[in-house]
Structure 1
């Protein structure tokens, strides 16, 4: 009976150790996908979009840090949907079709707002 209890405790501890190791691998894997991107962010009641300066591709935006929308609101626009230049850190994920417009097949999940300005620089981001 004592041997059975020891074996059970050992199996449980082994399971906890394996689970802890898997979580570490997933978090490192997620961090490796994080990129710094530059583009135009547009926000309004039914739209959160990001247009990449490099090639003009458009993405739905998920604000995981809850700072992007606040920064946009602090710019005090009179009308919604005014584009701003942003530099963000985040990663790209497949869009959930139940919550995102069918116009977007990918979502930019923002993990950090580096820069946001009304001044759109000349070059590929200028409209």
Structure 2
């Protein structure tokens, strides 16, 4: 009976520790959230984002599964057509085992603020 109680206490403590670690990771991500503006291209082989302000290109992970859907709803005839986007997300190191390894960093999208076929004048139109 005593070992049963010890096992239950151990499982409960392990669960609390695991939950605490998981929350810490999310708070780090949310503290690094940025709003970015740029051009997004999507197709079967590529999901890329080019930052308007300096032209750097990033691989894109659509964590909310809303960006790809919004892009598809614009009804392009061909893939990889660039669109103007304003996104909220954070930058992470690219996975070296995937196509994302060709990019220095990955933009993990947490919110789609704006998506448009019309590319505004300025740094993004070049």
- Common fold by TM > 0.5: yes
Q: Deviations over 1:1-56 (max 9, x none)?
A: 85x76666555544443333332222211211121111000112211100001111
Cα shift at 1:98: 1.8
- Structural mapping, 1:72-87, within 5 Å: 72-87=71-86
What CA distance in whole angstroms lies between the structure 1 residues aligned with 2:4 and 2:76? 66
**Shift in CA distance, 78/104, structure 1 to aligned 2, threshold 3 Å:** same
What CA distance in whole angstroms lies between the structure 2 residues aligned with 1:96 and 1:25? 21
Partner of 1:94: 93
Root mean square deviation, CA, Å = 2.0
Q: Which runs of 5 or more residues in structure 2 are unaligned?
A: none
- Structural mapping, 1:7-86, within 5 Å: 10=9, 12-86=11-85
Higher helix content, 1 or 2:
2
When normalised by structure 2's length, the TM-score is: 0.85
Q: Which runs of 5 or more residues in structure 1 are unaligned?
A: none
**Shift in CA distance, 72/23, structure 1 to aligned 2, threshold 3 Å:** same
Q: Which is greater in Rg?
A: 1
Contact 2:62–2:110, Cα closer than 8 Å, also in 1: yes
Aligned length: 126
